[in-house]
Amino acid sequence: MKKSFLVAVSIILLACQQQTNSDLKTLYSLPKKLKEVSGITYFPETNMIYTLEDSGNKNAIYAIDSKGKLAKTITISNATNVDWEDITKDKSGNIYIGDFGNNDNKRKDLCIYKIAKNQLNKDLASAEYKISFSYPEQTEFPPKKKEMFYDVEGFFEKGGYFYLFTKNRSKGFDGTAFIYKIKNAKGTQKAVKIGEFKTCSNYNHCVLTSATISPDGKKVALLSHDKIVLFKDFKGDLFHKGKQTEVSLNHFSQKEAAVFRDNNTLLIADEKADKIGGNMYEFKL
């Protein structure tokens, strides 16, 4: 996300909130070379985090150990980092890179890369396949300023499908977010809109920057800069039809990445901005 993050009001708010007690537990500082972490995924069997950075950074994923040390850098030889915004895995441990950052809603090259689990032990890996996709509802590139719904920074894989949660960049932000579904299969697809919901009307507090589903599939957590939007008690993949609650983190920073460590615990990472952030946190729901 290549833009100035904090407006003057937010800087003041951030300075104040940094002095309060937070429900977040800081686990460690992220490696210094990773200043723009945009997504994380977690492997419980090794207690390892895999992460990536967004536009302007390398076409690589990074393994971080339980102490926050950079354990491995894996360059993806056949993938271009246009704007990598999230990373997730399936039940088999294959990793997926979401190259769908779309700040200006102009892109026609949105895609997801699959990195097979057996590639994760290599320094130079290759994507097994690429899924190119588009949004049928978008007919202008860019659309009108009040209809800029087609940026995404959060997704996960469930049951052979990807679920993408849009980041609203519309003029007159009202918290509207769309949910799109894409089949996990090589080739070109049209994303299917399965629903929409609202958070709040304050962009700095309610814009969505990451998405994750619990290991048991019963909770979906969506991240913003200072809260979690939580869905529970849904049927199938109609997440927005379940119970929607907001959980305050009591901590404001440029949070860009979240993943469930277990069914009741989140790992959250923020970018380093103005000497603030650049950490991995734990949060108990």
Residues 57-83 pLDDT 10s:
999 999 999 999 999 999 999 999 999
Per DSSP, 239 falls in state: G
Tens-digit pLDDT profile for residues 246-274? 999 999 999 999 999 999 999 999 998 88
Residue burial 7-25, b: 16+ Cβ < 10 Å; e: rest: eeebeebbeebeeeebebe
139-156: average pLDDT: 98
Q: Are 230 and 246 spatial neighbours (Cβ–Cβ below 8 Å)?
A: yes
Tens-digit pLDDT profile for residues 193-208? 999 999 999 999 999 9
Per DSSP, 139 falls in state: -
* Mean pLDDT score of the chain: 93
Cα separation, 73 vs 64, in Å, equals: 9
Cα separation, 26 vs 268, in Å, equals: 9
pTM of the model: 0.92
Cα separation, 224 vs 205, in Å, equals: 6
Nearest 5°: phi and psi at 167? -105, 115
Per DSSP, 30 falls in state: P
Least confident of 11-20, 51-60, 88-97: 11-20
Q: Are 33 and 72 spatial neighbours (Cβ–Cβ below 8 Å)?
A: no
Whether omega before 142 lies within 30 degrees of 0, making that bond cis, reads yes
